[in-house]
A and B are shown apart, each in its own frame.
Chain A
Amino acid sequence: MAYQVNGQTVEHDEEGYITNLGDWSKELAEVIAEAEEIEMDDERWEVVNFLREYYDEYQIAPAVRVLIKALKKSMGPEKGNNKYMYELFPYGPAKQACKIAGLPKPTGCV
């Protein structure tokens, strides 16, 4: 189970989350997104970048509410809402966007 990026092999688990977080790169994000049938654009990159910054500071993905609140500030209320996030990432901003951002899958009753 691995992604191929720039001739390199990057291992992932059964669900497509990369095994070694240090393997992440922008090129890899594009490859994961393609596997998820998602085309990365500026807005999706903004979500992914926010997730990575938050993870850098807290070693965990942010609550959906925290993510939305941040995006409301930058994108405005029309786009900074839960519904729009699901339009960007149909399998959920937390799980699908985390996968593309190279973060571990949020676990639990979520």
Chain B
Amino acid sequence: MADGDNQIPKLDDALQVPCIKPGSMDGLQPFLASPEHQEALGFPGELVPDWKERALAKMEELAEKNRAFQVYLDICVKCGACTDKCHYFLGTADPKNMPVARQDLLRSVYRRYFTFAGKYFPWLVGARDLTEDVLKEWYSYYHQCSECRRCSVYCPYGIDTAEITMAARDILASVGMGQKYSNEIIGKVHSVGNNLGLNPKALGATLEGLEEDIEDDTGISVRIPLDEKGADILLVTPSADFFAEPHIDGLIGYAKVFHQAGVSWTLSSYASEAANFGLFIGNYENMRLVSQRIRKAALDLGVKRIIFGECGHAWRVAYSYLNTLAGPWDFLDQNYPIPQHILEFTWNEIQKGTLTFDKSKNDHLNMTYHDSCNVARGSRMGDMPGGQFEIPRNVIKAVCNNYVDMDQDTIHEATLCCGGGGGLLTDDLMDLRIKGASPRMTALQQVTKDHGVTHMAAICAICKTQFSKVMPKYGYEMDSVVSVHQLVSNAIILDGQETEDDAPEAAEAEE
């Protein structure tokens, strides 16, 4: 059984390889999706009697449809380059959390049923039968992978381990073993429009409250429009931006930037979610259905552009797959990137000189930046290679005086996962989340020690929530993680806004 000790790993440096502890995370399982949550996504409610045949048929279907998946299963040479690249292995020391070992849980079964050697000489090639124990092992260890793809960066063959995790989860859901956290959430997107289940009335009330807050703080009326037909820009952002801290401060930042740039924009209550957990469960049909909501909202509202808010995997899906999932986007203005990231928008405005900042407003913060995995390794920003690394840093440096990077081996494409991505941001996996965060937290502690870093910025709703939960375990306050647009919001000076310098009583002034 998993030791479940909630022990915080002590690493000397962020990438220290631990002595292995076989079985230390054995048996850890997130809650199974209920029949109701399974069926809403088109999966069987519970484990089907002929699960073995169906699982193998699904594996065969995936290998046929997705040639990359089959190639990944065939070509691994066990070189070991990936073994120490996974934050969950570094944090848990369980050898089955080595990426190659995790893949082999599925590869060994594939070999048994779909390769010549495995069919006739299974003992020679490490092939094994698919049994109920194997199925349970899959459910456990394929929910100890956040699909962050750090291991893939180091694979000389370019095997994308996340694809294998996604396939395994798709197979599991197709025989009745879906995960509660992800499937309940996808069901809410299908029925309500967002992960939270936030209905239009509640969303409208929340946004009105935020408009009041901005006016109270700045004396300026800044709108956060909802369902406004004829607006130029549709902003699609994670619903956590309407609910959680520090996400909501980022949303205020987007609104101030749009206001200052003088563009017309709107949110949609129908497509009130950027996240697409269909990616996490490896299910194309659900991913497509979630994306289609954005298309419908864009058409119904008659927008010309689509911009995505701060959400890591949403940007991967948007940047890499949106055209296939919900295109063609011929009805949008072709003079702008389709879709565009909010950071690209803000950075453009900064370069154009439309935004004015008082950087000293962030002087109480010594910043560093956490590259979110799906943005770092699954997408890009701007028109230059590496733009997804440079643009967020450029924006932070434009609004903050104090910035330093973490260890080079833990940022950019080598970034470490926050420990809660890929559908693992659930309380029933808290032990894994705390342990999986240890490499990132160790890298952060290093810059705190060396450079006095106090806060870390992120551009992913999952990263923000995960860090605000686990940072207190590593000696930080929960508000030590901030949204990038929260920093923008702190420093931006709106037209007509009186600053403390020219009017000390401005804070009390009534509009």
Contacts and interface: CB of A to CB of B under 8 A. Distances in A.
A109 B181 CA distance: 10
Given A69-B209, A107-B188, A60 B197 contact: yes
Contacts of A60: 196-199, 202
B267 interface: no
A109 B201 contact: no
A15 B247 CA distance: 25
A45 B199 CA distance: 26
B462 interface: yes
Interface in A18-63: 58-60, 62-63
B201 A108 contact: no
A84 interface: no
A43 B209 CA distance: 23
B244 A110 contact: yes
Interface stretch (B50-58, B88-96, B234-242, B295-303): B234-242
A8 to B, nearest CB: 24
Interface string B225-245: 000000000000011101111
A82 B311 CA distance: 23
B31 interface: yes
A65 interface: yes
Given A60-B196, A60-B199, A64-B244, A108 B185 contact: yes
Given A65-B248, A86-B478, A95-B427, A110 B196 contact: yes
Contact of B199 (A58, A62, A86, A107): A58
Interface residues of B, number: 39
Interface in B186-223: 188, 194-199, 201-202, 205-206, 209-210, 213
A66 interface: yes
- Judged by DSSP, the binding face of A is loop
Interface in A55-104: 58-60, 62-66, 69, 82, 86, 94-95, 104
A32 to B, nearest CB: 16
A3 to B, nearest CB: 19
Contacts of A109: 195, 238-240, 244, 247, 275, 311, 425, 461-462, 464-465
Contacts, number: 84
B191 to A, nearest CB: 12
A33 to B, nearest CB: 18
Contact of B206 (A63, A86, A106, A108): A63
B201 A107 contact: no
Interface residues on A, range: 20 to 34
A65 B248 CA distance: 8
Contacts of B194: 108
A15 B185 contact: no
Contacts of B31: 14-15
Contact of B243 (A15, A82, A108): A108
A104 B210 CA distance: 24
B184 interface: yes
A65 B461 contact: no
A104 B194 CA distance: 15
Interface in B389-410: none
Given A14-B428, A66-B209, A108 B240 contact: yes
B358 interface: no
Contacts of A82: 245, 478-479
A72 to B, nearest CB: 11
Given A58-B199, A59-B202, A60-B202, A110 B243 contact: yes
Give the most central of B181, B196, B201, B210: most A CB within 10 Å: B196
A110 B311 CA distance: 12
Given A69-B209, A109-B240, A15 B428 contact: yes
Nearest to A63: B243
Nearest to B242: A63
Interface in B456-508: 461-462, 464-465, 478-479
A15 B34 CA distance: 13
Given A65-B209, A66-B209, A108-B239, 5 more contacts: A58-B199, A60-B198, A62-B206, A108-B240, A110-B196
10 cross-chain pairs, A with B, having the tightest CB-CB distances, nearest first: A108-B195, A109-B461, A58-B202, A109-B240, A110-B244, A63-B243, A108-B196, A109-B462, A60-B202, A14-B31
7 contacts: A65-B209, A82-B245, A82-B478, A106-B196, A107-B184, A107-B185, A110-B465
Interface of B: 31, 180-181, 184-185, 188, 194-199, 201-202, 205-206, 209-210, 213, 238-240, 242-245, 247-248, 275, 311, 425, 427-428, 461-462, 464-465, 478-479
